[in-house]
Amino acid sequence: MVSRIEIEDRIVRVIRGEFLKHAEGVLEKYKNQITSTVNWYISTLPRHIKSSEADDLASEAKIAFVDALKTWDPRRGELWTYVSLRLKGSMQDYLRRKKMDQISGMYEWINSAAYVYMAFNREAIVSDQVDDLLHVDSALKVLTEKEKIVVEKYYKNDKTFKEIGGEIGLSESQVSRICKEATRKMRKEIKST
């Protein structure tokens, strides 16, 4: 005996199968919303990522959109509500895979600054990278003491949020929030210099 829910699932599956044959049309209909979401997400990223990754992020979002159509179930809510979360997630995943999300991006940046510092001491100066180093230095000045501690432990001592939280008496998520806020402040400071 087939249950009601099994039949309803089948109906949704059959319609979705036919619906997916027209995925291009759906993509076309949501083109502007996808573009706005991608542009909004890109606007939150550091300049060096914005310029190099914008096109790839747009493609990534389109792929995620079509993928999301394959699993969307109208019984659980509106398409755009479901898809927009997936778009943002896919762009974040893409940058994470490339180690360029806000936090690891900053880590790469500081690493590169450290390299420049060493190069500076060896008198092998690359002027534009030295500028980066100076900007990072001045950006650190805008942080509160707690933020400095977190940033230093995270980026310099390579500790996890959990370990840092244990040391300074905060939860892992609080440390993560502080680190994100510090990263945001530093980025803003660097942009303004």
By CB under 8 A, name the binding residues for another protein. Answer: 2, 7-8, 10-12, 14-19, 22, 25-26, 28-30, 74-75, 79
- Using the minimum distance from each CB to another protein, give the nearer residue, 3 or 43: 3
CB 91 within 8 A of CB 60: yes
CB of 53 to another protein, least distance (A): 28
Q: For 21-158, where are the alpha helices, taking DSSP H only?
A: 23-29, 31-43, 47-69, 79-97, 102-121, 127-140, 145-151
- Using the minimum distance from each CB to another protein, give the nearer residue, 67 or 163: 67
- Using the minimum distance from each CB to another protein, give the nearer residue, 34 or 175: 34
Closest C-alpha to 181, from 138, 141, 136, 151: 151
Residue 72: burial class (beta carbons within 10 Å; 0-12, 13-18, 19+): buried
CB of 29 to another protein, least distance (A): 6
- Using the minimum distance from each CB to another protein, give the nearer residue, 28 or 108: 28
CB of 19 to another protein, least distance (A): 5
CB of 69 to another protein, least distance (A): 8
- Using the minimum distance from each CB to another protein, give the nearer residue, 18 or 55: 18
CB 188 within 8 A of CB 135: no
d(CA 135, CA 86): 34
Residue in this structure with the two tokens 């980025």, named with its chain if needed = 187
d(CA 40, CA 17): 32
CB of 179 to another protein, least distance (A): 39
CB 42 within 8 A of CB 57: yes
